[in-house]
Amino acid sequence: MLSRIAESLFWIGRYLERAENTTRIVEVHLQLLLDDPSVDQDDAALSLLAVMGAPETEVADSNEVLRALCYDPTSVCSIAAALEGAREAARRARETVSIEMWEAINTTWNSVKGSRLQRMRPASAFRHVRERCAVISGTADQTMSHDEGWHFLTLGRSLERVDMTARLISTAHLTSGTHSAWNNVLRGCGAHHAFVRTYGGVTTDKDAAEFLLLDRLFPRSVVHSLRAAESSLSDLALAGGRRVGFDDEAQRLLGTARAALEYRDPGRMLEDLPQRMTDLQRTCNLVSEAVTTRYFTGATAATWSGGN
């Protein structure tokens, strides 16, 4: 597969997951402010913008959060920018992306461009973006051959999900003193129903963190997403003829991160949680760089080595 096509598919997966998870994170933030009026809204807004990697600012409020993380197409961490990036990546990979998937992405972009997202009520806007991202992901799974291109798409989606889930858990820790913080995070991940079925509905910080980090059956947990990313990389390595060992730096990084989570003492799940979430985000960046170096960087020009 051409490196240009592979890179486009990888970033389609990342951008769509980023858009969806940003809606979840902002919705959790706004819900926490409603549930606990004692929370300083300005401090909470500044903390959230820092967690999301937005440019530093001295003053922020809920309106600034919505602008920087949702509506502003010039903000690199906004929903609008992510959806625009997904459409541009899909345009570059038109010969590989199915017609149905391209139409789903293009329709989604047309529904939010030109301040259309801003004109919706926030709750309606968040629901619209989540539903459209789900439509695109389902369309991709059903209309694309599950070959190398699909593995790059899945790799990007899984890697971004790990990163964004880590950020969502970080937002819960920022307001861990509030009773509803972890409940809202579970709902933000779409995990509340599955959590209640697993743990019986009594939400403690430890149980919620354990579920979101370690559950092997819930598709948005960190461990499940790390496994999915590892599986995609393994299939890509097999396609390249590699059958023994791990010569891929990205695979080593993902495997190390997963083992550090799965083999950690469950009783120490909440210890150093913010730092561990930061480390996870750093790992995702390193994995992305390793994948780019291995698969997306153009080959060096051939040189003649024969003759006298």
- Which region among 103-107, 156-160, 303-307 has the lowest average model confidence (pLDDT)? 303-307
Give the pLDDT band of residue 242 (cuts 50, 70, 90): low
Tokens of 43: 């401090």
pLDDT single digits (tens) 116-165: 999 999 999 999 999 999 999 999 999 999 999 999 999 999 999 999 99
**267 or 157: whose pLDDT is higher?**
157
> Do 225 and 158 form a contact (C-beta atoms < 8 A)?
yes
Mean pLDDT for 293-299 is 78
Domain positions in the chain = 3-296
Identify the band that residue 205 occupies on the pLDDT scale cut at 50, 70 and 90.
confident
- pLDDT of 171 above 80: no
pTM (global) more than 0.85 = yes
Q: Which amino acid is at 264?
A: R
pLDDT single digits (tens) 30-70: 988 888 788 888 888 998 998 898 888 878 889 999 999 99
pLDDT band at 182 (very low <50, low <70, confident <90, very high): confident
- In the structure, what pLDDT confidence band is assigned to residue 303 with cuts at 50, 70 and 90? very low
